[in-house]
Structures are given as structure tokens and as C-alpha cells.
Chain A
């Protein structure tokens, strides 16, 4: 196993860059009047949850937060997957 500091050295700049892209995306969505889009809202909610210091398994929690929570098969195919579940109504 690599030393703990090495893990941060190897990943920090890449993670920083990706988070910066998320910040810029949220700004862009708001600037274009799409702050209420369910996908944008889902990202913001997920970011709040990821900042919880008690949160473990953040990647798993993020994916679960984006997932369709229902269990019954759909009557027919709807629109393509978007990356976040859109609550009906």
C-alpha cells in the first residue's frame, strides 16, 4: 500500500480540478436560468451530503442519491437515462 500522504499527493490536483468544474457548471446553469433543473438540484443536494463529516462511503452515497428509488418495472421505456432521478409530479 502507498503511504497515506502519497494518496493525497497523487489525487489532490485532479480532484481539485474536477470540483472546480462542478462549481463552474453550477454557476453556468444558474446564469442560464436553469438552477431549478432537477439534475442541478440533485447535484447541489448531493454536495451538501458529501460535506457531512460523518458520511462514509461517499461515492456509494452519491450514486444512491442519484438513483431511482422505486422498485416496480416501468410500463414502457421512457426518456433516456439522465444521471439523476426525476421525481414525478
Chain B
């Protein structure tokens, strides 16, 4: 089996995890910029993080012959201070030409605040100005439905944004249909306790089909499993999915979306 891990926070993982991903059939890993578990105290902290994502992590992954790509932004949790967020965002254009940068992400909302929404709109503008793909984080738990609707509205309000170039991640049963019906891609995140289990992700596939859907582990510094995607493959096999269907969903689907960026180059 081959697959793409389209959302993994590898800066939080040990090097052994790169080996495990490759052994499980992973052909590329993509890493959105995110909240590191603490608020950074200066824009310089983000500058160093962007260097880590664009220079250090690709080298660490390359030791296992695993292509590493990334997305850049200031995450919504640290975007509550609008002035600080704008200082950080001013750093991003310098990094966009880097070989492994796929676009702007993971932007979105955390607590659905006015400040977060303002910075989300400015990220959308940044992506439009630089013709970048967009990866969107949706809030956790009780905030997700409202946040997803605010995000859809913000994206649809900018006429330059093409829905097929945006993936809205962390969908669950109550948000997936609205995202797909609006023409966007949707990401299912496999995560213990919050987000989806492999069984629920398989249910979503059975009910909504696999067009414009991908799945990821979002493995990070919290309880999470970098091998969650191959574990979903086991569940899908038990549900009767063929190997060709697994390949189409777990490898070709992310390639279809990510190949809209010329820099995403993964050998068949």
C-alpha cells in the first residue's frame, strides 16, 4: 500500500516516526504551520519556525528518502493579537518561493473571534495575492460547526478564491456535507478522543463518497498516532474496499489536490 500523509506536525515527532511512516508505505509528508503548544513571544520565533519547516525538516525526512512539504501561516490560536499576527504574516512572502512550500495553512479559526476572523481574511488575501493553495483548520469540539460556517463565508466572500484550491480540514459528520457542497476539498483527521476514529472516517466515506476528500493523522505533540492513516486502510479493507479504491483515496486523492502546486512532485 502507498499513501500520502497530507497533515502531520513532524517538528513534534521523533526521527523514528519518519522511519515508521516510510515502512508503512508513506510516499510524502506535508506539514502545516501550527500552534506549538505554547504562544511564541516574538515574530523572530516564527521566523525560526519557518526555517525549521523549510530547511531542517526536509533534511530530516530526506534521510529516509521521504519528500517533506509544508504550509506557512500564523495559526489562529496565536492570531488573537492582530498586531502581532500582522508582524508574523509580513515574514511569510520571503518563504513562499522555497522548494517545499505548498501554500498558506493551516489558517482558520480557533475560538471564532472577530480578531481571528480578521486575520483569516488577511491570510486569504495573502494566498490570493501570491496564487497559493490554502489549507484551513476548523475549530475543535463545540466550536466546529459555527467556525466552519464562518470560514466558508469568509472564503466565499473573496471572488479570487477557487474552492477546488482550498482544503477545509478536520471535518466531521456535521460539517463534511456543507464543505463538499460548497465545492471545497474536505479533510478527515484521525485523532484519539476528539475528531474521527478510523471507523467513523470509514462511515463518512461510505455515506459521502471519496471525491474531494482526504484523510490525515495530524500527528503532533498531543496524543496522536502517526500511523493512523494505515490503520484506516485496515478498517476500509474490512469494509470491503478494494486495493485500487484504497490507492485512489489514500494516494491519488491527496496527489490530485496537492499537484495543483507545481512544487508537489511525488513519483508514482
B152 to chain A, nearest CB (A): 12
Contact between chains at A68 and B145 (CB < 8 Å):
yes
Contact between chains at B114 and A77 (CB < 8 Å):
no
A82-B112 contact in complex given A59-B173, A76-B80, C-beta closer than 8 Å: no
> How far is A82 from B61 in the complex, measured between Cα atoms in Å?
36
A70 to chain B, nearest CB (A): 6
Question: How many residues belonging to B are interface residues under a CB distance threshold of 8 Å?
Answer: 28
Residues of A within 8 A of B (CB): 1-2, 10-11, 57, 59-60, 63-64, 66-71, 73-78, 81-85
Q: Indicate with 1 or 0, residue by residue over B135-148, a CB within 8 angstroms of chain A CB atoms.
A: 00001111111100
Chain B residue at minimum C-beta to C-beta distance from A3: B240
> How far is A25 from B112 in the complex, measured between Cα atoms in Å?
30
> How far is A71 from B116 in the complex, measured between Cα atoms in Å?
15
Contact between chains at B142 and A67 (CB < 8 Å):
yes
Contact between chains at A71 and B149 (CB < 8 Å):
yes
Residue pairs across A and B with CB atoms within 8 Å: the count is 74
> How far is A66 from B240 in the complex, measured between Cα atoms in Å?
32
Contact between chains at B200 and A59 (CB < 8 Å):
yes
> How far is A85 from B80 in the complex, measured between Cα atoms in Å?
21
Contact between chains at A83 and B141 (CB < 8 Å):
yes
Q: Indicate with 1 or 0, residue by residue over B76-87, a CB within 8 angstroms of chain A CB atoms.
A: 000010000000
Show 9 A/B contacts (Cβ-Cβ < 8 Å), sorted by A.
A2-B240, A59-B172, A60-B173, A60-B174, A64-B145, A71-B146, A75-B113, A76-B113, A76-B114
Contact between chains at B143 and A68 (CB < 8 Å):
yes
Chain A CB within 8 A of B14 CB: no
Contact between chains at A2 and B238 (CB < 8 Å):
yes
Within B168-198, which residues are at the interface with A (CB < 8 Å)?
172-174
Chain A residue at minimum C-beta to C-beta distance from B153: A71
Within B88-116, which residues are at the interface with A (CB < 8 Å)?
110-116
Q: Which residues of A contact B141 (CB under 8 A)?
A: 66, 81-84
